[in-house]
Amino acid sequence: MVAILLGPPGVGKGTQGDRLVRALGWQKIATGDLLRAARREGTELGRKAQEYMEAGNLVPDELIVELVKEKLAALSPDTGVLFDGFPRTVPQAEALDAALPSVDRKVGVVILFDAPADVLHKRISGRRSSPDSGRVYNIYFDPPKVEGICDETGSALIHRDDDQPETVARRLEVYRKQTQPLVEYYDESQATLLRIDGDQEMSEVQGDLHAALAREAGIEVGEA
């Protein structure tokens, strides 16, 4: 089984994906992790990727797909795989579909998490983090006891550049432009597309996901 996670920033897909792979014993694949590992290990693909990055260029889709194929070939054929953060565009999805048969796999399930834009904006722009404890608060949903101060260390909380309102708005707009065609692509493919409401409590999202996997894809998920 190959499954793909889709969803905008702040929807919680990463958390749900981590829980899902633990419960199923699957392998989660994030292309950023593959790139870092290949560079660290000095593989041929890693050296090629390094050349692009040092030149300030994006790593081509073809090279990313080769890294994915290399990773899949090293896994047991019985190990399920969950992609997080890839593909991001229709050309990447097409390249992945073309490559998977060479490792005797195909995309079976695509899981789309979504939530209203205003909710996503609050989830991201409302984040405040403590540089000392690492704890992350949210001024809308999980504020500290004293505004701007970490409950655990008493240190001042910071608002990361990535979480500034203007940046969040741009990130969400880029996601919508890139992902809507991708959703349509998978909606017309042979893969099962599951739409999960991310505007719920975490446990409710997880429950909906497990129910949809069992109902639509025949995948029973135990406890994470």
What is the C-alpha to C-alpha distance for residues 114 and 170, in angstroms, rounded to an integer?
A: 17
Other Cβ atoms less than 10 A from the Cβ of 111: the count is 24
13 catalytic residue (yes or no): yes
88 is catalytic: yes
Cβ-contact 6, 61 below 8 angstroms: no
Of 39, 69, 88, 195, the catalytic one is 88
C-alpha distances out from residue 78 to 66, 69, 212, Å: 21, 16, 22
Residues 72 and 34: their CA atoms lie apart, in Å, by: 11
From the candidates 105, 122, 123, 127, give the one annotated as an active-site residue. 127
Cα Dmax for the chain: 56
* Residues in contact with 11: Cβ distance below 8 Å, sequence separation at least 6, in sequence order: 113, 114, 115, 120, 123, 198
Question: Which residue among 13, 19, 122, 128 is the active-site one?
Answer: 13
What are the angstrom distances between the C-alpha of 207 and each of 27, 41, 85, 120, 195? 21, 39, 22, 20, 13
- Tell me which amino acid residue 104 is: D
Residue 171 a catalytic site member: yes
Catalytic residue, candidates 22, 47, 160, 176: 160
Pairing of strands 127-129, 107-114: unpaired
Q: Active-site residue numbers?
A: 13, 88, 127, 160, 171
